[in-house]
Amino acid sequence: MQRTVATFRRGDLFRIEGEELKHIFARRWKVGQKVEVFWEGRLFLCVLESISKKGAVCRILEEISTRPAEPYVYLYQCVPVEIGKMDFIVEKVSEVGAYQLTPLLSSRSFQNLQALEKRYERWRRIAFSSFKQCGRPIPLEIAPVTHLEDLKCRGGVCMVLDSFGGEIWLSEVNLKDVKEVHLVVGPEGGFSEKEVQLLREKGFLPVRLRPYTLRSETAAVLAVGLVMNF
Ligand code: SAM
C-alpha cells in the first residue's frame, strides 16, 4: 500500500500539499485508490478523493494499528569512523524491523559529539522515508547519543556482537516469546577487550554470526534481521 503524509486535517478529510504532493504525482496515484496517510503519529487507511496541482484530498476509511512487530529490537550501534555509513545503517535496520537505534560512542568509534548531533535531522529524514517505503507501522526511533560505559541491560535479551569472543552463535539464542532484544554492535575496529568485559559484566551475552567477520553495518543489519525472523 502506498503511503503519504498529510499537510492538514479537517474532519475525516486529509489534504496533502508541497513535497508529498509531488511524490503523489510522481507515483501516478489515481482517484479512488486506497492509500495510507500518516498524521501526527497515527496511520489511516484512506481513499484518494481528488487531486490537482494545488493539493490532494483523501477521505479516512479507518485507523490502522501502529503496534510495531515484536520483539522490539533496540540496536546500540558504535558509530563507524566513516560516519556516512550511519545513513546506510539507519535505512537498512529500519527496513528489517529495528524498533530503536542508539548511536553509541566507544573507544574506536567516531568521537565528535557535535558532528553527530548535526546528523540527527538527516537520520530522522532517512528513517521517515524508509517508513513510507517499507510499510512499518511507525518510523524507527533514533535515541540520543550514548557512551558505551553508560549502557544498561534493560531487560529482555541483551547481546553484544563479538566476532572473536562470542560464546554462542546468535542463531542459537532462544528468542521464543521474547518481547525485547538489546543488541550492541562494534565499529570498524571492533571493541577493546575492556569494553567487551564491561558489557559482559552489565549482562550482555557475547554472540557471534556465522561464518565470517562482517563489516559493522552488515553485522547490524544481519543481526536485526535474524532476530526479527526467529
Ligand atoms: N577486527 C575487528 C574486531 O576487533 O572485532 C572486526 C570488527 S567488525 C569489522 C565490526 C563489528 O561488527 C564487530 O565489533 C562486531 O560487533 C560485528 N561483527 C562483525 N562480524 C561479526 C561476527 N562474525 N560475529 C559477531 N559480530 C560481528
CATH, residue 44: 2.40.240.20
Q: Which tens digit of pLDDT belongs to each residue from 85-128?
A: 999 999 999 999 999 999 999 999 999 999 999 999 999 999 99
Please tell me the distance from the alpha carbon of residue 229 to that of residue 43, in angstroms, as a whole number: 25
Q: Are residues 102 and 24 in the same domain?
A: no
- Domain, as residue range, for 122: 72-228
C-alpha cell at 12: 475525516
C-alpha cell at 46: 484512506
Please tell me the distance from the alpha carbon of residue 103 to that of residue 89, in angstroms, as a whole number: 10
Q: List the CATH number of the domain containing 137.
A: 3.40.1280.10
Distances (CA, A) of 30 to 45, 46, 47, 51, 124: 15, 13, 10, 8, 29
Instruction: Please count the structural domains in the chain.
Output: 2
Q: Are residues 86 and 193 in the same domain?
A: yes
**Amino acid identity at 159:** M
Q: Are residues 96 and 160 in the same domain?
A: yes
Q: Are residues 77 and 184 in the same domain?
A: yes
Q: Are residues 42 and 96 in the same domain?
A: no
ipTM of the complex: 0.97
Q: pLDDT truncated to tens, each residue of the chain (230 aa)?
A: 999 999 999 999 999 999 999 999 999 999 999 999 999 999 999 999 999 999 999 999 999 999 999 999 999 999 999 999 999 999 999 999 999 999 999 999 999 999 999 999 999 999 999 999 999 999 999 999 999 999 999 899 999 999 988 889 999 999 999 999 999 999 999 999 999 999 999 999 999 999 999 999 999 999 999 999 99
Q: Ligand 1 pocket test: which of 89, 159, 161 has the largest number of ligand atoms within 8 Å of its C-beta?
A: 161
Q: How many other CB atoms sit within 10 Å of the CB of residue 110?
A: 22
User: Given the CA of residue 164, which atom of ligand 1 is nearest to it?
Assistant: 5
Q: Of 100, 102, 229, nearest to 175 (Cα)?
A: 229
Q: With a 6 A CB cut-off, is 213 part of the ligand 1 pocket?
A: yes
Q: Of 10, 7, 21, nearest to 50 (Cα)?
A: 21
C-alpha cell at 59: 477521505
Q: Are residues 58 and 87 in the same domain?
A: no
